[in-house]
């Protein structure tokens, strides 16, 4: 594991050296890829990835050019990671994580506890045996990927469709109504640095199902059950059209004190109509300060679970569709909204206020916010351009002795110098981008200083 991590770090450092040159050469115009444009707004743009497609050059070419967040489409699910009880199988998911590490992409983990895609041994279990198996599963998987996951879908699709507003019946639900909070507490204990999300579909507008999820999040927040984010899958088609209150729904969840994320976006259709819907979703996310990013559920239409709907941003040959251009233009045309906030807000973790900022060498300031828990922390560093655009930046930030970095994102590090990667060197005047890292130890007071060109 240590060796793998070292290899990844070397690959990342190499990529970053090249990236800095690219960054310096770029023009002062808006960024030209989804990931880079989203990064300029302090957001990510991700996609679902299938491990077996990574050897397809068209597929990985688009992936690495456009996307800076990856969700394994199936490889981290229960049936994939624990096909036999107590025997864990991580090779396909590890392949995706290695790819992400080598290309400076972050990971969303999907999904720890779900009624679907369970291995047959779990499908046949009930009661205490199933509850214990779920806890053991979450502990093992979240521990295996500790420090490598930006956000976990801890529980997926636990609410019923239709007007009832209740839980979905499932073997997990029948172990007791508290199975969801047990799943979240277990995930927090295993990987305190990951944001923990509840994820569902048909919750994209205000309706009976999203109201039920809303009530659960409110209850969890009031009782200190660790939850950091809510995922809105956003599988849009004629049967599930884009709700007119999409943004308002995201905002009401954000107002509960959780991040919101678009987690599995696909929109059936073609041409202008599809392009307009993509633009609406992107604008809605960027208008909600706690909407931290958007993930589309596949790259080319042919990669989609609903390929007949042609619901994605690239056609079967990997060409950009009108929907791609609309999504990119919507990101670049959106005003910068206030910060996505700091990571976890678990009761044991405290978010320290941002440092006042540092005038730095030329044209940028850096501020840091820290989420410390017993034995570790996540730091989020914001780089804000001054009155002219940046094409490259670096931040000097020393860690106290005893603190060791386990994982970082959106950045290349050499000792105490943290530099932009290819997609986030360009920052428009007055705008910002963010990078982060997770470390063992105690952060203390971190004082970043920024220099840009
Ligand atoms: O896209 C996934 C597809 O390859 C699988 O066959 C399917 C099996 O359930 O799961 C699909 O992904 C689902 C995701 O994990 C949860 N939300 C709905 C997605 C589409 O079905």
- Mutate which of 53, 72, 74, 237 for ligand 1? The one with the most ligand atoms within 8 Å of its CB, which is 74
Q: Which residues contact 91 (CB under 8 A, 6 or more apart)?
A: none
Q: Measured between alpha carbons, how far is 92 from 97 in angstroms, rounded to an integer?
A: 9
Chain length of the chain? 453
Which residue lies with its CA nearest to atom 1 of ligand 1? 305
Residues 145-188 have pLDDT tens digits of: 999 999 999 999 999 998 788 999 999 999 999 999 999 999 99
- Mutate which of 109, 305, 306 for ligand 1? The one with the most ligand atoms within 8 Å of its CB, which is 305
Q: Which residues contact 15 (CB under 8 A, 6 or more apart)?
A: 102, 103, 104, 412, 421, 422
pLDDT score for 29: 67
- Assess contact for 362 and 451: CB atoms under 8 A: yes
Q: Which residues contact 78 (CB under 8 A, 6 or more apart)?
A: 112, 113, 114, 117, 118, 119, 122, 137
Residue 304's nearest CA partner among 377, 390, 380, 235 is 235
Q: Which residues does residue 87 pair with via DSSP β-bridges, in sequence order?
A: 84
- Assess contact for 438 and 408: CB atoms under 8 A: yes
pLDDT score for 375: 81
Question: Ligand 1 centroid vs 305 CA: distance in angstroms?
Answer: 7
pLDDT score for 337: 58
pLDDT score for 11: 41
Ranges of residues in the chain whose predicted pLDDT is under 50: 1-28, 339-343, 345-361
pTM: 0.78
CB atoms within 10 A of CB 52: 12
State the closest ligand 1 atom to the C-alpha of 298, by its place in the atom list counted from 1: 1
pLDDT score for 437: 85
Question: Ligand 1 centroid vs 202 CA: distance in angstroms?
Answer: 14
Question: Ligand 1 centroid vs 426 CA: distance in angstroms?
Answer: 35
Question: Ligand 1 centroid vs 28 CA: distance in angstroms?
Answer: 40
Residues 270-301 have pLDDT tens digits of: 999 999 999 999 999 999 999 999 999 999 99
Q: Measured between alpha carbons, how far is 270 from 228 in angstroms, rounded to an integer?
A: 35
202 pocket-lining for ligand 1 (C-beta < 6 Å)? no
pLDDT score for 344: 52
């Amino acid at each position: 594991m240590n060796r793998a991590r070292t290899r990844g770090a070397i690959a990342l450092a190499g990529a970053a050296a090249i990236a800095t040159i690219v960054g310096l050469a770029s023009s002062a115009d808006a960024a030209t890829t989804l990931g880079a444009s989203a990064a300029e707004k302090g957001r990510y743009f991700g996609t679902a990835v299938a491990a077996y497609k990574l050897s397809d050059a068209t597929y990985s070419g688009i992936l690495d050019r456009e996307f800076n967040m990856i969700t394994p489409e199936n490889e981290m699910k229960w049936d994939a990671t624990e096909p036999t009880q107590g025997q864990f199988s991580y090779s396909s998911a590890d392949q995706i994580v290695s790819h992400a590490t080598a290309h400076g992409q972050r990971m969303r983990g999907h999904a720890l506890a779900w009624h679907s895609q369970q291995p047959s041994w779990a499908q046949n279990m009930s009661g205490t045996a199933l509850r214990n198996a779920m806890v053991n599963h979450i502990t093992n998987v979240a521990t295996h990927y500790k420090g490598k996951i930006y956000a976990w879908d801890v529980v997926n699709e636990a609410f019923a469709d239709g007007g009832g507003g209740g839980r979905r019946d499932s073997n997990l639900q029948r172990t007791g109504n508290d199975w969801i909070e047990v799943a979240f507490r277990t995930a927090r204990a295993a990987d305190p640095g990951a944001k923990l999300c509840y994820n569902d579909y048909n919750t994209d507008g205000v309706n009976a199902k999203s109201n039920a999820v809303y009530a659960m999040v409110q209850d969890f927040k009031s009782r200190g059950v660790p939850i950091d984010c809510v995922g809105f899958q956003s599988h849009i088609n004629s049967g599930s059209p884009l709700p007119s209150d999409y943004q308002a729904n995201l905002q009401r969840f954000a107002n509960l004190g959780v991040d919101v994320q678009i987690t599995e976006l696909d929109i059936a259709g073609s041409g202008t109509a599809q392009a307009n819907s993509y633009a609406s979703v992107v604008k809605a996310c960027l208008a909600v300060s706690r909407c931290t990013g958007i993930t589309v559920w596949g790259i080319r239409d042919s990669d989609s679970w609903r390929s007949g709907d042609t619901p994605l941003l690239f056609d079967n040959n990997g060409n950009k569709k009108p929907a791609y251009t609309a999504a990119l233009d919507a990101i670049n045309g959106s005003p910068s909204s206030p910060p996505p906030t700091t990571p976890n807000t678990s009761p044991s973790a405290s978010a320290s206020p941002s440092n006042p900022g540092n005038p730095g060498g030329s044209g940028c300031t850096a501020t840091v916010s820290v989420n410390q828990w017993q034995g570790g922390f996540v730091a989020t560093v914001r780089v804000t351009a001054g009155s002219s655009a940046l094409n490259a930046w670096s931040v000097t930030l020393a860690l106290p002795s005893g603190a060791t970095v386990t994982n970082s994102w959106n950045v290349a590090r050499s000792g105490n110098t943290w530099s932009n990667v290819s997609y986030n060197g360009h920052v428009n005047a007055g705008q910002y981008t963010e990078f982060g890292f997770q470390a063992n130890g105690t952060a203390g007071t971190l004082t970043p200083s920024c220099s840009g060109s």
